[in-house]
Amino acid sequence: MFSLEERTRAVKLLIQYDLSYADVIRELGYPTRGALRNWYTEYCNNGRLHEKFVRKSKYSMVEKRNAVKYYIEHGKSLSRTCRVLGYPSRPELDTWIKQIAPEEKKHCSKVGTTVRYTQEHKELAVISLGARSKPASDVAADYGVTRGTLYNWKDQLLKEGSVQKMKNNRKRVSRDIDTKNLIKDVSELNSEKEHLELQLEELQNEVYRLKLERDIYEKAAEIIKKDQGINLNSLQNREKAIIINALRDRHQLKNLLKVLNMAKSSYCYQVIAMKSDKYAKIRTVIAKISLDSSSTYGYRRIHSELQTSNMVLSEKVVRRIMKEENLVVKTPKRKRYSSYKGEINSDVANIINRNFHSDKPNVKWLTDITEFSIPAGKVYLSPIIDCFDGLPVSWVIGTSPNAELVNTMLEEAISTLNKNEKPIVHSDRGCHYQWPGWIERIENAGLIRSMSKKGCSPDNAACEGFFGRLKNEMFYGHSWKGVTIKEFISILNKYIQWYAEKRIKLSLGGMSPLNYRRSLGLVV
């Protein structure tokens, strides 16, 4: 019978921690699965547990009265009544008779045994019990007594470690063996046996403990990826809870907590914390930012966007959430277009000399041509990039890498300059930048030419970096099947506008190039 406190504790473990029946029973050591199910049902139906749990009898009052009536009418025999009716047990029938017809028990008397055993018979039986090679029930049968009687004789003879004389009115018969010495030997054997059993139990406990520690180390290496010089006490509570959950089907909770030196309350807290996702809302925001950027933002830019929205979160958490949500930026490699056609004029020096830093706009410009190959054909982009903030000053998109493409781009860029602005225009040694039309436009505007070394792309790395970001974010990893040349040019043009107006750069404090210039008052 369990108290109200014990029953309440079991039901709370079942409800609050969402444990199974087997887990609760393993944790508390009680009750049976059926009893726990009844307590849980009672709590769900009534909202509480009764002060005293009363077991409902499986026999109705009619069945009880019929059994008592049969007992009275057929010789008042408990055994006969139980055998004929098939129910109940003799003690239970006796209880029913006392409740329903107590007057029928007055004529019953206790019957004693008339069998008497000699002192020698009892001592020989006890000696056989101590030095037996067969079960105690067989020894008792050999001497014509029950197993319980045989052990009662043993208790009487070995009481307080000495042989006690039984009351016997008959004359003792001489014996051929020394009973006292045999009983002493039997006692020593039993004592040695108990000592060996105790040692065996200690060894079994030690083996189990070592096996438990081995399982914990293996799970730590498998789940938490800690295998070199791991210290169980240095693990975090979250890591310990993960290991315990993985081993609950093989070991008891109390043993796992003991080896890991973890309080049960800490374990329960970690279980609840792992079930709840405190980043549920943040996940939605991060997914939206990634979608709005066409899956081009990595964790650093997304972290910067969250900071702009006053959401405090570390970069590591953003990276982990993106990994869990499979928000991956794909960066496949493609062969780049080359505009080099041989040397035409090699007098132009490399003024930039890989120094792409500028303290103000329109001091250093970079330009180049890149190719986009889609099923519908090839498209070429020619931009001018300002080294001050990476802003595309002007760009032209066409289907042929000809002089008109670069000349038109240069004219549009020159139209944005103020009267006193004469930037350096740096390019590679492509044929487009050595033709007379390009040189004439540069000289008329008073601009300064600068060219990379032959076949040395790092000399124009900043412009190449712009092409790399552009293709990784809007070109690679997308299917352009069924997209016409005109549609692709429109998509590319919209991306460059978004790049200039909205795409944030960490080097600019999480702002786009145009917003950065507005913050400095350089544009309206």
Q: What is the residue extent of each domain of the chain?
A: 4-46, 61-105, 198-275, 280-324, 364-519
Closest CA to 488 of 359, 371, 343, 332: 371
Cis peptide leading into residue 458 (ω within 30°): no
pLDDT at 130: 77
Share of the chain above pLDDT 90, in %: 19
Q: Which one has a higher pLDDT value, 425 or 18? A: 425
Taking CA atoms, 21 is separated from 13, 27, 28, 31, 304, in Å, by 10, 10, 11, 10, 48
Contacts for 417 with CB less than 8 Å, ≥ 6 apart = 362, 423, 445
pLDDT at 521: 86
- Cα separation, 308 vs 152, whole angstroms: 87
pTM, two decimal places: 0.42
Residue 362's region, left for phi above 0, alpha for psi from -120 to 50, else beta, is left
**CATH code assigned to 364-519:** 3.30.420.10
pLDDT surpasses 60 at 52? no
Closest CA to 274 of 296, 303, 319, 242: 242
Instruction: Give the 3-state secondary structure of residue 197.
Output: helix
Residue 59: Cβ within 10 Å count = 13
pLDDT at 165: 46
- Write out pLDDT tens, residues 330-378: 665 555 555 555 555 557 888 988 899 998 899 999 999 999 999 999 9
**Residue 93 host element (H or E):** helix 90-100
pLDDT at 372: 94
φ, ψ of residue 448 to 5 degrees: the values are -110, 130
pLDDT surpasses 60 at 112? no
- What residue has token string 């250093």? 364
**Burial category of 237 from C-beta neighbours within 10 Å (exposed 0-12, middle 13-18, buried 19 and up):** middle
pLDDT at 162: 41
- Cα separation, 63 vs 260, whole angstroms: 57
What type of residue sits at position 7? R
